[in-house]
Amino acid sequence: MNRLCFSTADDPFTRTAVAKYYPECIVFDTTGEILARVSPQNKNSTDYQMTYQDDFRDPALKINDDRKIQIQLGAITKPGTMILLVIKEFDTTGKGVKEGEFDRAWFRLSNEETNQTLDYSLVNKVAKPEEYNPFFPVDEEEGENAQPKRNDLTYIHGRLFLDDNKKWVFESYKHSFQTKDYEDIVAQMGKLYGQSIGEHNE
């Protein structure tokens, strides 16, 4: 299996009026440095053959995704290279989201050639941080007109890494992290990965 797909669906069975969840793939080297990042803001990585796509729903299919990243595993040959699979949220503030509109939202890793699901989860089955609030409290020192800051959630679905035998290994995490606790959880994960590789090689 050489072609994978990491995707999200706001609702696998019907198109929602508002877009909310999107996938992101980040490639790290063994030091934890980011080599590539594919997302709606950067849709292609030529070096690592990853492509972000959206607006491809097929009405003939019962189950659809909304946004996906195609991954060509053969483009990565250096052992220790890691691909972090991340789900993030578009800002839906003021867009008239209906109650329960995203209750069936999911993310999944699948075989791009056969559409076979390898691992998935409903977003609302992933535990949120304790006492999570979608906004930071207003800081009184900033004045009465200060606007609340978004406390975005980042979901870590899992990671793929190429082991010393040049075999791909997948680890499923399904954890969520809030900006209030981790301003940049992706950079933190890269740092931890680099440290773990360094300790392994000592």
Of 80, 52, 72, nearest to 167 by C-alpha is 80
Measured at the alpha carbon of residue 32, what is the angle toward residues 185 and 158, in degrees to the nearest 5? 55
Per-residue DSSP letter, 150? B
Range list of β-strands (E), 39-193: 44-45, 50-54, 67-72, 82-89, 106-111, 117-122, 153-162, 168-178
Q: How far apart are CA 155 and CA 22, in angstroms?
A: 10
Residue 202: pLDDT band by 50, 70, 90 thresholds?
low
Give the SS3 label for residue 141: helix
Give the rounded percent of residues in the chain with a pLDDT score beyond 90.
82
Domain of residue 168: give its range.
Answer: 3-92+101-201
Average pLDDT over residues 113-133: 95
CATH code: domain of residue 197:
2.60.60.30
Per-residue pLDDT reduced to its tens digit, 13-41:
999 999 999 999 999 999 999 999 999 99
Per-residue pLDDT reduced to its tens digit, 78-112:
999 999 999 999 999 889 899 999 999 999 999 99
Look at residue 141 in the predicted model and tell me its pLDDT: 62
Q: Residue 136 burial by CB count (10 A; 0-12/13-18/19+): exposed, middle or buried? A: middle
Average pLDDT over residues 128-153: 80
* pTM assigned to the model: 0.92
Q: Is the pLDDT of residue 185 over 80?
A: yes
Q: What is the mean pLDDT of the chain?
A: 92
In terms of phi and psi (left: phi > 0; alpha: psi -120 to 50; beta: otherwise), the region of 80 is: left
Look at residue 31 in the predicted model and tell me its pLDDT: 95
Residue 144: pLDDT band by 50, 70, 90 thresholds?
low
How many domains does one find in the chain?
1
**Which of 59-63, 140-144, 184-188 is least confident?**
140-144
Per-residue pLDDT reduced to its tens digit, 189-199:
999 999 988 66
Q: Is the pLDDT of residue 178 over 80?
A: yes
